[in-house]
């Protein structure tokens, strides 16, 4: 099966050796995504705003891989303060209210930058009618 690495263009991808997302066949894995735009943290001190921005970045990576948020089957949310779960959950619900992927939210002791409150990963699965796009086929 063909592998497609999707890059966001940040220097850390080459230094650390990772991709924003990877598609193999009908599976798309989006790496841990934070509320950063270059060196700038978006939504400082606001878990809801950070979560909304993260889902915008994830949606862009999914689109590049031939998917949409509707193809997401799993979300994993890593938060630095579980007491903010309602704000993070509200942003998640605004995106996934009708899609309802399996979801996990756990508290972690820290993220790479102390101003980051949330990091999110997603897994998307393309339905059979979407599997043959951009040179991908499972046949």
pLDDT higher at 39 or 50: 50
- Is 137 within a domain? no
Tell me, what CATH number does 18's domain have? 3.30.1330.40
Q: Which two tokens stand for residue 108?
A: 């972690």
Give the pLDDT confidence score for residue 60 in this predicted structure.
97
Helices (H), 1-139: 11-12, 47-64, 85-96
Which two structure tokens, joined as six digits, stand for 63? 């689109």
Cβ atoms of 64 and 6 closer than 8 Å: yes
Question: Per DSSP, what are the bridge partners of residue 3?
Answer: 24
Number of domains into which the chain is organized: 1
Please check whether residue 130 lies inside any domain of the structure.
Answer: no
The tokens of 75 are what?
A: 């979300």
Q: Which pLDDT belongs to residue 138?
A: 43
* Predicted confidence band of residue 137 (pLDDT cuts 50, 70, 90): very low
Q: What values do phi and psi take at 11, rounded to 5?
A: -65, -25
- Over residues 101-122, the mean pLDDT reads 98
* C-beta of residue 55 within 8 angstroms of C-beta of residue 95: yes
pLDDT, residue 130, reads 54
For residue 61, what pLDDT band results from cuts at 50, 70 and 90? very high
In a domain, 134, yes or no: no
29 lies in which domain range?
3-125
Confidence check: pLDDT of 95 > 70: yes
Task: Judge residue 4's burial from the number of C-beta atoms within 10 Å of its C-beta, 0-12 exposed, 13-18 middle, 19 or more buried.
Answer: middle
Reported confidence tier of residue 8, pLDDT bands at 50, 70, 90: confident
Whole-model pTM?
0.89
């Amino acid at each position: 099966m063909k592998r497609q690495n999707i890059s966001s263009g940040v220097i850390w991808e080459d230094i650390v050796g990772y991709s924003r997302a990877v598609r193999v066949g009908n599976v798309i894995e989006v790496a841990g995504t934070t509320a950063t735009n270059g060196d700038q943290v978006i939504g400082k001190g606001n878990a809801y705003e950070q979560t909304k921005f993260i889902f915008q970045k994830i949606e862009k990576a999914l689109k590049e891989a031939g998917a949409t948020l509707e193809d997401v089957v799993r979300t994993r949310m890593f938060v630095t303060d579980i007491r903010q779960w309602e704000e993070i959950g509200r942003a998640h619900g605004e995106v996934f209210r009708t899609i309802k992927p399996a979801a996990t939210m756990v508290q972690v002791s820290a993220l790479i930058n102390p101003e980051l409150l949330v990091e999110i990963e997603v897994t998307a699965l393309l339905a059979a009618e979407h599997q043959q796009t951009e040179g991908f086929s499972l046949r």
